[in-house]
Structure 1
């Protein structure tokens, strides 16, 4: 382990439409420790009561400029972080950038030309791309010499075979960049490393990782590399999510626009913000709100459809892999909702999946029982560490 003595830190920013998460990693040792020195978030940025919370402190309500709440939240975070530096210095900022298009397959230092490229991908990821780029743009203007590194959620899936990337559209669409990209790549990159460390060859066979959060997807891995995934050209595809529809007959979109006369903007809002668990239940996108209300039929149906979506897609990816050796649950729902894990695994009993109820309730690392033909594990994700490591690697080149 190589030690530094200059008090250097790497800042990771994960900017979404209503939240900004941050993590500071102590760069005094190589490799970086997987636990950040300090982390936190501002959430509810566009709501009535935005909140700031950080490790080791109590949450507090913020008053942000209602006209420009996002720049105000970013400015608040920067001031708060700088106040904690105590003589240390940030040597790089790593950003989770959802889409790298068909050009960026590896982390890259961002300059004006790269930023312009990334802005052209905003229509492909409208929930995340513009906000990460707004932060990069502001920091480039104020501190142009400070290295900023974009780490792409699409990059991990570049190992997929061409047949998995192609869409059944005219060849000209492929040439114009319409293809399956896949997302949640930083999360899957972390899983590809930690699963190999924890389970060795058992994880290098036919593995499916379920990243289940407000956004959700599955990744089929062989030898811990992506070979297929449920999200495709956009982050709308695949699993039913908190507010996003997931896989949908494109004829339904045509109907909404042609027969019901919804505008493009109205349809986009419906598919991104008004569908999924929120749309079907009519109550909430948050499972913590929905599970206690299963006596209500719309809520019960929303949860059933959510679980069915996951089971169906696991089955499809299992067919692509030619079988299943390991199933991994990660991210907010995957790590913290044993009821959902139990229901998904019950639906996969035909594959020989069987779990231990006590281990599942305790969030044990391995929740499958001795009779299960598939090892089922729960593993926390760590996208921030992956991004910080990528930034450190670029700095050392």
Structure 2
């Protein structure tokens, strides 16, 4: 019998945090039982918080040392087992990169795991940690379907001219192409705004950041490339960089691949330029007295503005711009600074609405609608798990009944 409802546990791991949510899912509707996160993973003062789904009130909060994402998942699973919430019917995992041979969300079996292992080479900062959590979830819930929800899936249909990188064609067979990321975030925006106008630009701005051009609900271009290191300047990642810089560092400084990877992913971006922090909030506190902090902020704003303009060109105009992600949702000054140079594209903010936290922040007379919307990656994971398992008949029963 096709299930009407499923209880889906979404796992969304980052480099130092792990977000989760247990949702009741029925079609495209996903209602949270509980949500939460483990923060500052790897430190002695990590924070673990669980919130009630219906009102966001805190059900559990503790400061605890958590060594890695696997330990965080184990602690979360134990907490959920002690709460009055349903056992999950399925578990969905955010996987940043599926590699060249996995371009759609998939139920995880041995063959899919093998493909994801191969994909680790494309995103070594993200995929190995996510797969470690998958194995832990399989061990703890051996009878529960596990699903890989790919950030790259949203961009799988990129046109040939945008997915192809300008390198020797022989490299295409090895998977050298543009994949695009933050796909679950983009999909969640469209799920929240099904009537979005046809020419939409989504600016996902957080510690990782990307800009995506969406035409009639489909991704047609995006700032990140083969890996999540490219595109706009980020907290610790460089974004787009003259490839000659890497060749020079290799030739003149003797840097190997691992050292270069460490440089572009961990010692660049806001942190690299400022020499202080990759956290935009921290840099704002210091920008009046620290020229390097001011420079880093200005470079970040300019890189985002340039990419929004580029995506508007790809779309032959822009009907709407959405800000999402930690910076996009919460930093009114960043939004104002980015949009200040885009009046020519019909983007004009209402300063009071922008500061107030309203959803729609454009000047009412502007040609382009500008919105601030939450990224709902965990909710989107649950929708995608339900659609996959129900659509393929890979799960039976009736969930909550």
* TM-score above 0.5, yes or no: yes
Select between 238-247 and 94-103 the one with higher mean Cα deviation.
94-103
Say which SS state the counterpart of residue 224 (structure 2) adopts. coil
Deviation at 1:172, TM superposition (A): 0.8
Which of the residues 266, 277, 281 maps onto 1:284? 277
Q: Distance in 1 between matches of 2:75 and 2:138?
A: 17
Q: Distance in 2 between matches of 1:191 and 1:110?
A: 26
Say which SS state the counterpart of residue 98 (structure 2) adopts. coil
Aligned length: 383
Select between 212-221 and 141-150 the one with higher mean Cα deviation.
141-150
Go from structure 1 to structure 2 and tell me whether the alpha carbon gap of 1:156 and 1:3 turns closer, same or farther (over 3 Å shift).
closer
Q: Could you say which residue in structure 1 is the equivalent of 2:89? A: 91
Q: Distance in 2 between matches of 1:354 and 1:280?
A: 29
Q: Distance in 2 between matches of 1:31 and 1:308?
A: 37
Which of the residues 17, 21, 29 maps onto 1:32? 29
1:310-349 counterparts in 2 under 5 A? 310-349=304-343
Q: Distance in 2 between matches of 1:15 and 1:288?
A: 22
Say which SS state the counterpart of residue 261 (structure 2) adopts. helix
Q: Distance in 2 between matches of 1:31 and 1:234?
A: 30
- Residues 1:369 and 2:363 are matched in the alignment: yes
1:20-59 counterparts in 2 under 5 A? 20-27=18-25, 29-33=26-30, 35-55=31-51, 56-57=57-58, 59=61
Q: Deviations over 1:205-229 (max 9, x none)?
A: 2211100011000110110210000
Q: Distance in 2 between matches of 1:367 and 1:61?
A: 37
Which of the residues 350, 355, 366 maps onto 2:349? 355
Deviation at 1:274, TM superposition (A): 0.9
Deviation at 1:344, TM superposition (A): 0.5
Say which SS state the counterpart of residue 29 (structure 2) adopts. coil
Q: Distance in 1 between matches of 2:220 and 2:178?
A: 12
Where structure 1 has 5 or more consecutive residues not aligned to the other structure, the ranges are: none
1:233-252 counterparts in 2 under 5 A? 233-252=226-245
Deviation at 1:314, TM superposition (A): 1.2
Q: Distance in 1 between matches of 2:160 and 2:3?
A: 42
Q: Could you say which residue in structure 1 is the equivalent of 2:248? A: 255
State whether residues 110 and 148 of structure 1, in contact with CA within 8 Å, keep that contact through their aligned partners in structure 2: yes
TM-score, normalised to structure 2, is: 0.91
Which of the residues 85, 95, 111 maps onto 1:113? 111
Q: Distance in 1 between matches of 2:181 and 2:63?
A: 32
Q: Distance in 2 between matches of 1:81 and 1:149?
A: 19
- Residues 1:159 and 2:157 are matched in the alignment: yes
Q: Could you say which residue in structure 2 is the equivalent of 1:184? A: 182
TM-score, normalised to structure 1, is: 0.92
- Residues 1:144 and 2:142 are matched in the alignment: yes
Where structure 2 has 5 or more consecutive residues not aligned to the other structure, the ranges are: 52-56, 394-401
State whether residues 3 and 30 of structure 1, in contact with CA within 8 Å, keep that contact through their aligned partners in structure 2: no
Q: Distance in 2 between matches of 1:161 and 1:70?
A: 35
Q: Could you say which residue in structure 2 is the equivalent of 1:170? A: 168
Deviation at 1:13, TM superposition (A): 0.4
